[in-house]
């Protein structure tokens, strides 16, 4: 028992040190500016209301958001912030594609539905989670959705659309470099500012906010959470791989995953384990990233949760399929909803 307590105390000291160094290395963001939030449109669905909105992340950078609430809700609700994968939008993240056409317009100017040519499995509508008493919110990440520049129609020419997306992302990287930041810092800052916005709403309980994301969004979910204690629970998918395996197999090429100088003082798996002891649910596919690159991430996290006597707050799932395929399974969405319901309930113990 004394050795276990000493191991725990050593890890907690290192955890504090790593968190500080991570924030410095990331170079998270500028000084907070006025949000100047506005709701630009509101629509009613069969059992929900949807609001399209805008707020400032930093001077000159407006973040487009979508917030959806159960229609009958009256009290402040817990909220799941949904961070989409690369080339995807907030509208696709919340509404999926199987409900199209919706009875109202959406902000997805560079996607056409139904999305039969996008390549990866697309998510089922996350509006299914509304029945469990959550509000949902998503944002368009930089250079995607309503923040994208001119691009070819994705349904007409997927390759040209993807090439244009990558080109705009490379220019975002160049902007980050000359500003002394990282793309990861820009994206994380947008999520932090989304939390600031949620605190201004009287229909959302800011003490009960969880984050889920897949691919790019999965990385942003945990990369933000380890620097932002207001996130109470996290669900990731199709995003975990060590730096070494990513370099060897040339996977996870998005600039959001790469933080200057970080490997000099830690590993990606140790960074991921900084999530402990907050609730963390992770999905990875057996036909996605190489298992030898994923398993060390999961093993390190499981070890740290056990060390902090929080093993019940970590769960990892190997699903059958490729990138993001788990979001096509209704049972998986039920599991995700149950996970957040358990850890964002009013009686849940806050780590």
Residues 274/275/277/279 CA torsion (nearest 10 deg): -170
Confidence of residue 157 (pLDDT cuts 50, 70, 90): confident
Task: Write out pLDDT tens, residues 32-68.
Answer: 999 999 999 999 988 999 999 999 999 999 999 999 9
Nearest Cα residue to 125 out of 77, 91, 88 = 91
**pLDDT reported for residue 102:** 60
Q: Domains, the chain, ranges and CATH?
A: 2-343 (3.40.50.1820)
pLDDT at 125 over 90: no
Give the Å distances, CA to CA, from 3 to 8, 10, 25, 38, 321: 8, 10, 32, 54, 41
| Alpha-carbon span 314 to 235, nearest angstrom | 10
* pTM score: 0.93
Average pLDDT over residues 295-319: 97
**pLDDT reported for residue 279:** 98
Mean per-residue pLDDT of the chain = 89
pLDDT at 258 over 70: yes
The H or E element containing residue 285 is strand 280-285
**Percent of the chain surpassing pLDDT 90:** 68
pLDDT at 272 over 90: yes
Specify the higher pLDDT residue, 302 or 257.
302
**pLDDT reported for residue 116:** 46
pLDDT at 347 over 90: no
Task: Write out pLDDT tens, residues 62-115.
Answer: 999 999 999 988 899 999 999 998 878 898 889 876 555 566 666 654 444 444
**pLDDT reported for residue 190:** 97
Average pLDDT over residues 181-205: 96
Q: How many residues does the chain have?
A: 351
- How would you class 259 by CB atoms within 10 Å of its CB: exposed for 0-12, middle for 13-18, buried for 19 or more? buried
**pLDDT reported for residue 6:** 92
**pLDDT reported for residue 109:** 44
| Alpha-carbon span 91 to 112, nearest angstrom | 12
| Alpha-carbon span 165 to 172, nearest angstrom | 11
**pLDDT reported for residue 18:** 96
Confidence of residue 121 (pLDDT cuts 50, 70, 90): low
Assess contact for 212 and 222: CB atoms under 8 A: no
**pLDDT reported for residue 22:** 94
Adjacency order of strands within the sheet including 204-214? 38-44, 48-58, 61-70, 135-139, 77-83, 204-214, 231-237, 280-285, 314-319
**pLDDT reported for residue 100:** 52
Task: Write out pLDDT tens, residues 102-120.
Answer: 666 666 544 444 444 444 4
Q: Where are the alpha helices (DSSP H) in 131-182?
A: 158-178
**pLDDT reported for residue 118:** 42
Nearest Cα residue to 233 out of 348, 92, 86 = 348
């Amino acid at each position: 028992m004394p050795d276990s307590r000493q191991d725990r105390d050593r890890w907690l000291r290192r955890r504090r040190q790593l968190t500080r160094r991570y924030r410095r290395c990331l170079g998270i963001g500028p000084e907070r500016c006025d949000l100047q939030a506005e709701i630009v449109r509101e629509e009613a669905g069969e059992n929900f209301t949807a609001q399209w909105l805008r707020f400032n992340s930093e001077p000159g950078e407006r973040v487009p958001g979508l917030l959806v609430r159960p229609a009958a809700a009256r009290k402040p609700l817990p909220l799941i912030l949904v961070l989409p994968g690369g080339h995807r939008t907030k509208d696709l993240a919340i509404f999926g594609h199987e409900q199209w056409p919706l009875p109202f317009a959406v902000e997805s100017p560079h996607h056409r539905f139904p999305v039969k040519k996008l390549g990866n499995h697309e998510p089922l509508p996350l509006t299914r989670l509304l029945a469990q008493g959550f509000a949902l919110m998503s944002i368009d990440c930089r250079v995607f959705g309503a923040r994208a520049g001119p691009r070819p129609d994705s349904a007409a020419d997927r390759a040209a659309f993807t090439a244009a997306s990558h080109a705009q992302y490379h220019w975002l990287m160049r902007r980050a470099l000359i500003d002394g930041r990282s793309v990861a810092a820009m994206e994380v800052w947008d999520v932090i500012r989304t939390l600031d916005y949620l605190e201004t709403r009287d229909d959302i309980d800011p003490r009960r906010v969880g984050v889920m994301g897949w691919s790019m969004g999965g990385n942003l979910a945990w990369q933000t959470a380890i620097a932002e204690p207001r996130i109470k629970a996290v669900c990731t998918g199709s995003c975990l791989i060590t730096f070494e395996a990513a370099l060897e197999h040339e996977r996870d090429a998005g600039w959001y995953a790469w933080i200057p100088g970080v490997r000099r003082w830690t590993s990606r798996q140790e960074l991921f384990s900084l999530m402990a002891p907050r609730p963390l649910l992770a999905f990875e596919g057996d036909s996605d990233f190489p298992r030898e690159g994923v398993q060390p991430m999961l093993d390190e996290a499981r070890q740290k949760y056990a060390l902090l006597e929080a093993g019940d707050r970590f769960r990892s799932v190997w699903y059958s399929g490729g990138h993001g395929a788990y979001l096509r399974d209704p049972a998986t969405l039920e599991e995700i909803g149950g996970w957040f319901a358990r850890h964002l309930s009013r009686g849940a113990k806050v780590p």
